[in-house]
Structure 1
Amino acid sequence: MTFTHPQGTRGARQPRGPVLAWINRRMASRIRRKGGRAGGGDAIVLTTIGRKSGQERPVPVASFPSDDGGWFVVASAAGAANNPAWYLNLAAHPDRVTVETAGEKLAVSATELHGAERAAAWEQITATAPGFAGYAQKTDRELPVILLTRR
């Protein structure tokens, strides 16, 4: 399946700005060295390739283990009406992605989940991190669930 890019018509204010960029850089540095937790899941640094710039774009995100050794990530943007930029970058370059945590860097491929696969992953994610269910209630878009698998 492909990435669907659905946008919503309502939602929370999407986090952005220089303070968030500074926090993300600090978090990414720490996650790369020591690992950590974020949003109820294991923190990873997800590095995508900018769909317009072609440059690497690292962002710290919460991840949840999949049964096959991969990771689930949710493009929640804290319940905003629009998808986060990293989701659009994944859609443009799903095979040019890396995951970093605790001194390990791995090349991965990204696949958006749909239907029963998404429902099963969503149930696992919200059982572990109920805050994501709260994000889903803030917006009318379906929050994309992405599976990252090692290449």
Structure 2
Amino acid sequence: MPDLHRTATELFLKTSTTLHRRLIDVTAGKLGTRFKNMPTLTLTTTGRRTGKPHTVVLTVPIVDGPRYLIVASRGGDEISPAWFHNLSANPSVEVSFQHGPSQPMTARVLPAAEREARWPQILQAYPGYATYQNRTTRVIPVVELSPRSDH
């Protein structure tokens, strides 16, 4: 028997990201480039099993110059989002920040000490991440996206 909660969560996440991407595209970025008082970006990863591109819309709690920190919370679910698994397998990604031009970037999962140092800033940007962390036993990963020329 399939896990109905996981199936419903997957359907909700896929539907909401598709609708969010369409809103951004249809309004040429006039709507949808901020969510929960944070800027958004579209992240395109390469599927670790399919090799096909997958694009999601994510919030950006920290903009650090040309770098962005994103949080693999999945709302506090026990499993990390698919995009996190994809960029862990292949850190070469494409990013469009607030409906700007797409640029090649490299994803790097922050090591524990660096994650802990940045976590208070992330919570300042969106306190809801604390609720997500409390919902799960996993340590929610934080990912830095950097322009590829920086590496």
Quote the residue 2:69 is aligned against.
Answer: 72
User: Partner amino acid for 2:125?
Assistant: T
Question: Deviation digits for residues 99-150 of structure 1, max 9, x if unmatched?
Answer: 1132321111000001331112211111110001110000011000000001
CA-atom RMSD, angstroms? 1.8
1:26 aligned counterpart, secondary structure: helix
8 Å Cα contact 2:61-2:126 kept in structure 1: no
Q: Higher relative contact order by CA 8 Å / sep ≥ 6: 1 or 2?
A: 1
Alignment of 1:1-151 (within 5 A): 15-17=9-11, 19-32=12-25, 33-34=28-29, 36-95=33-92, 97-100=93-96, 101-151=98-148
In the alignment of these two chains, the number of paired residues is: 137
Separation in 1 of the partners of 2:41 and 2:24?
6
What's the TM-score, normalizing by structure 2? 0.82
Q: Which runs of 5+ in 1 are unaligned?
A: 1-12
Task: Give the greater-gyration-radius structure (CA).
Answer: 2
8 Å Cα contact 2:70-2:142 kept in structure 1: yes
Separation in 2 of the partners of 1:31 and 1:125?
24
8 Å Cα contact 1:70-1:150 kept in structure 2: yes
Separation in 2 of the partners of 1:92 and 1:81?
19
Separation in 1 of the partners of 2:134 and 2:10?
20
2:122 aligned counterpart, secondary structure: helix
- Of all paired residues, the percent bearing the same amino acid is 33
8 Å Cα contact 1:38-1:62 kept in structure 2: yes
8 Å Cα contact 2:62-2:122 kept in structure 1: no
Q: Which runs of 5+ in 2 are unaligned?
A: none
